[in-house]
């Protein structure tokens, strides 16, 4: 029992540390190694894949050197990289530390696979603990928390992981200290695809909260939800119960594959109101598929040959055959986990690079779910399990209890109020926040909040808002920033339901509408989000947030005209503000589309007012346009490197009442 718990716990902790490293490494591809929309997606994809391809050589190293030395060395390297990343060094140092940690984690997985033929409990608990902890931390990773809590929890996890790894003896994931059998290949093969589906859909707290925000009004526009993390404990409990209990027999085994496919299809439909059922279905289905893959080539806790099913290719009278069979099984498991993690990389790169290359990506999660379902459904049924509750179920209850804390502890954004009556002025800030990552590649919520809050804004318009992309670490950047600013939000989806533009306001927001914009060859989807600020006593102002996407080699003229027409029709004679990253400069045809519609350049008094790149601004591409009834003053682009753009701010005097 001690070895079973030790092996399961150590594997779960290692998975937790590896996911932490991935949450730093994946955003580093586009924020440090390259620049999205400027560095070729093919080059960034090649950089991502090469490390997973290198890991395919790890099984040969394990076979030559031995599993234990490789596992111990790789575990130490993973632990050191993970703990060092807690210091959040930023820049190239951060990227290469994360890369070293990733490669070490992949090699560690291969080494563990050689000695573990029942990995499902450890993998499932690792995925679930990561999701529960991420939810309790409000989707901010421990890596980005430089306080004592971050250091303490990171240090404890690393120390316990290393102590567990250092314990002598070969262990299976299910029994005593005995040589691992030949099974477990299917379960290890699913480690990578399961990690991808868990991070993208099933166990993503940010996606669950984003889905809840679409259910507030049910009109396709997301709003600040109450108890937005409520689906997380349900998903965690469903996933663990399905993964750690005996699967049904005969055709009942199909429920897991069918449910995981249904969840992946709902996610692929790109509808915000379907995100919550997608999360819950994928979580339960994924757990059930892992349980099906838990191939028991021998009864748990029994190291004898007599208990193996007949016809498995071993000979009880020839111990040497057992050794050879175990060695072949170790090699198969090593190659299986390396190949599975390559599937993770291919799926992640294939899905997210579509936003730069312009091809449909909805099939990627469905194809991965088909792979998971096929591997699970065709697995050999489990021959025998220990009587009574599966021991990790007790840990599952503890993990679910941890996840239950998330909706209780989560900060809820206060409701906007106009109790002071209509103001005379409004301060507007428009900011492209680049998913929350600064120029140094660090997730810099504090820097974003500080530069915005210094302007004392009444309304904030945000571009490049990411609410759950695994590629960017799986954060709900919008909700996190709204919490820090104390401003409720309205979100308009652009590329998909979790990427787009937002409006944060200290005043109540009415009648939100969103207009999808024609792509006209641009790499990423675009939209225009219109809202009405209720300033009290019948005074209302229209605000439109957008992020224009220029086609290759041209300006965003078509989109600019569409936004100008949509905004003026929506305002219907009321004061109007249109702002965002418009990717056009004064004098360009797209810029003229707004002035020709009768709007004024609210930043004209400060021209030239360059906003990009943030460390050496040369381009004037972030703008605020207003209707003639609004009088702009004090336009500014405050310096900050919390994004690759500078924000623009301006104070607008309202027309006399």
pLDDT tens for 139-155 read 998 888 878 888 999 99
**pLDDT interval class at 295 (50, 70, 90):** low
Q: Is the pLDDT of residue 534 over 70?
A: yes
Helix 231-243 and helix 275-293: axis angle, to 10°? 20
* 81, 85, 89, 93: CA torsion to nearest 10: 30
Q: Residue 322: pLDDT above 70?
A: no
Predicted TM-score (pTM) of this structure: 0.92
CATH class of this structure's domain 425-653: alpha beta
pLDDT attached to residue 325: 63
pLDDT over 70 at 388, yes or no = no
As to burial, measured by CB atoms within 10 angstroms (0-12 exposed, 13-18 middle, 19+ buried), residue 581 is buried
- Please provide residue 516's backbone torsions phi and psi, each rounded to the nearest 5 degrees: -65, 135
CATH 1.20.1250 positions along the chain are 2-302+322-409
Q: Are 534 and 507 in contact (CB under 8 A)?
A: yes
Please tell me which residue, 90 or 309, carries the higher pLDDT value. 90
Computed over every residue of the chain, the mean pLDDT equals 88
What span, in angstroms and rounded, lies between the C-alpha atoms of 476 and 522? 25
Q: What is the CA radius of gyration of the chain?
A: 26
Q: How far apart are CA 540 and CA 73, in angstroms?
A: 64
Distances (CA, A) of 128 to 234, 244, 289, 454: 11, 12, 15, 39
Looking at per-residue pLDDT, the higher value among 389 and 650 belongs to 650
CA–CA gap between residue 14 and residue 174 (Å, rounded): 17
Query: Which residue stretches of 388-431 are H helix?
Result: 392-409
* Residue 245: per-residue pLDDT: 87
Of 270-279, 470-479, 519-528, give the lowest mean pLDDT range.
519-528
The pLDDT confidence band at residue 176, using thresholds 50, 70 and 90, is: very low
Strands 425-432 and 499-505: unpaired
pLDDT at 358: 74
Joined together, the tokens standing for residue 427 give 């301060």
Predicted local distance difference test score (pLDDT) of residue 39? 79
Q: How far is CA 601 from CA 383, 482, 630, in A?
A: 73, 27, 11
Contact 379, 185 (CB under 8 A): no
Domain 2-302+322-409 has CATH 2.60.40: no
Which residue intervals of 137-204 are DSSP H helices?
Answer: 148-166, 185-189, 191-197
Mean pLDDT across the stretch 113-129? 93
pLDDT at 384: 44
The tens digit of pLDDT for each residue in 409-464 reads 877 777 777 667 789 999 999 999 999 999 999 999 999 999 999 999 999 999 99
* pLDDT at residue 313 in the model: 36
Q: What is the pLDDT of residue 87?
A: 86
Other C-beta atoms closer than 10 Å to the C-beta of 595 total 13
Local structure of residue 388 (DSSP, 8 states): S
How many CB atoms lie under 10 A from the CB of residue 41?
20
pLDDT per residue as tens digits for the range 183-216: 789 999 999 999 999 999 999 999 999 999 999 8
């Amino acid at each position: 029992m001690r070895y079973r718990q030790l092996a399961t716990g150590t594997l779960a902790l290692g998975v937790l540390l590896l996911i932490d490293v991935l949450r730093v490494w994946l955003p580093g591809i586009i924020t440090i190694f390259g620049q999205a929309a400027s560095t070729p997606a093919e080059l960034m994809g090649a950089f991502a894949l090469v490390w997973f391809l290198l890991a395919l050589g790890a099984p040969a190293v394990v076979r030559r050197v031995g599993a234990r030395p490789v596992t111990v060395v790789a575990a130490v390297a993973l632990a050191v990289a993970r703990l060092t990343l807690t210091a959040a060094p930023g820049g190239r140092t951060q990227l290469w530390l994360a890369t070293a940690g990733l490669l070490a984690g992949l090699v560690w997985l291969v080494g563990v696979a050689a000695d573990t033929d029942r990995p499902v409990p450890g993998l499932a608990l690792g995925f679930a603990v990561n999701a529960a902890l991420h939810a309790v931390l409000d989707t901010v990773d421990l890596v980005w928390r430089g306080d004592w809590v971050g250091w303490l929890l990171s240090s404890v996890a690393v120390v316990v992981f290393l102590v567990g790894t250092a314990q002598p003896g070969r262990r299976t994931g299910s029994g005593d200290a005995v040589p691992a059998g030949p099974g477990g290949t299917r379960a290890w093969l699913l480690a990578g695809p399961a990690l991808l589906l868990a991070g993208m859909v099933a166990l993503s707290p940010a996606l669950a909260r984003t889905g809840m925000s679409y259910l507030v009004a049910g009109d396709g526009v997301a709003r600040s939800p109450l108890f937005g993390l409520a689906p997380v404990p349900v998903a965690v409990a469903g996933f663990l119960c399905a993964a750690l209990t005996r699967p049904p027999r005969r055709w009942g085994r199909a429920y897991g594959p069918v449910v995981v496919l249904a969840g992946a299809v709902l996610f692929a439909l790109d509808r915000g109101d379907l995100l919550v059922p997608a999360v819950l279905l994928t979580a339960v289905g994924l757990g059930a598929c892992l349980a099906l893959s838990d191939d028991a080539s021998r009864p748990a806790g029994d190291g004898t040959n007599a208990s193996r099913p007949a016809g498995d290719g071993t000979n009880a009278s020839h111990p040497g055959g057992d050794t050879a069979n175990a060695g072949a099984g170790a090699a198969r498991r090593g190659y299986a986990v390396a190949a599975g993690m390559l599937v993770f990389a291919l799926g992640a790169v294939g899905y997210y690079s579509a936003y730069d290359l312009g091809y449909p990506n909805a099939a990627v999660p469905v194809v991965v779910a088909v792979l998971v379902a096929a591997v699970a459904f065709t697995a050999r049924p489990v021959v025998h399990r220990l009587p009574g509750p599966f021991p990790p179920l007790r840990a599952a209850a503890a993990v679910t209890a941890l996840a239950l804390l998330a909706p209780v502890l989560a900060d809820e954004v206060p409701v906007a109020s106009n109790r002071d009556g209509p103001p005379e002025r409004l301060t507007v800030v428009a900011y492209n926040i680049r998913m929350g990552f600064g120029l140094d590649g660090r997730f810099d919520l504090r820097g974003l909040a500080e530069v915005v809050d210094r302007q004392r804004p009444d309304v904030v318009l945000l571009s490049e808002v990411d609410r759950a992309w695994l590629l960017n670490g799986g954060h709900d950047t919008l909700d996190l920033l709204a919490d820090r600013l104390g401003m409720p939000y309205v979100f308009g989806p652009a590329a998909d339901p979790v990427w787009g533009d937002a409006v944060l306001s200290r005043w109540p927001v009415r009648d939100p509408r969103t207009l999808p914009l024609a792509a006209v060859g641009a790499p990423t989807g675009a939209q225009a989000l219109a809202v009405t600020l209720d300033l009290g006593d019948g005074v209302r102002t229209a605000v439109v947030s957008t992020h224009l996407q220029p086609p290759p080699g041209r300006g965003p003229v078509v989109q600019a005209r569409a936004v100008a027409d949509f905004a003026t029709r929506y305002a219907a004679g009321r004061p109007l503000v249109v702002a965002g990253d418009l990717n056009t400069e004064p004098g360009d045809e797209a810029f003229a589309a707004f002035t020709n519609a009768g709007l004024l350049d609210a930043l004209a008094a400060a021209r030239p007012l360059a906003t990009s790149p943030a460390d050496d601004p040369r381009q004037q591409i972030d703008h605020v346009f207003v209707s003639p009834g609004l009088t702009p003053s004090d336009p500014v682009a405050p310096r900050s490197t919390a994004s690759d753009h500078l924000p623009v701010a301006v104070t607008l005097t309202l027309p006399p009442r």
